[in-house]
Amino acid sequence: MNNREKNGEEFLRKFPKFRKWIVECKICHKRGYRLDLPSKITNVDGSLEVYFIKKYFNPLSLDEDKICECCSKVLKRVK
């Protein structure tokens, strides 16, 4: 785990309610935030949650099997 991932994990430990925006590829366990993350997820003015989520995680799109694009490409090549 690099520092950014450690900070991200720490952030999620403190604010577990944001875990629902974080997805994980079930093959390589790469994590990222859902592409449908809105720019504001709480009603608190000036809240920085989205800023931190984007700081600690990259956008990650998973297919319907919860597999990231890289792994899905590899799988298709193997088939």
Positions that interact with Zn ion (CB under 5 A): 25, 27-28, 68, 71
Neighbours of 51 (CB within 10 A): 10
H or E stretch at 32:
strand 31-33
Residue 48 vs 75, nearer CB to Zn ion: 75
Q: Between 25 and 37, whose beta carbon lies closer to Zn ion?
A: 25
CB of 59 to Zn ion, least distance (A): 14
Of 23 and 71, nearer to Zn ion (C-beta) is 71
Signed CA dihedral, 70, 72, 74, 76: sign only: negative
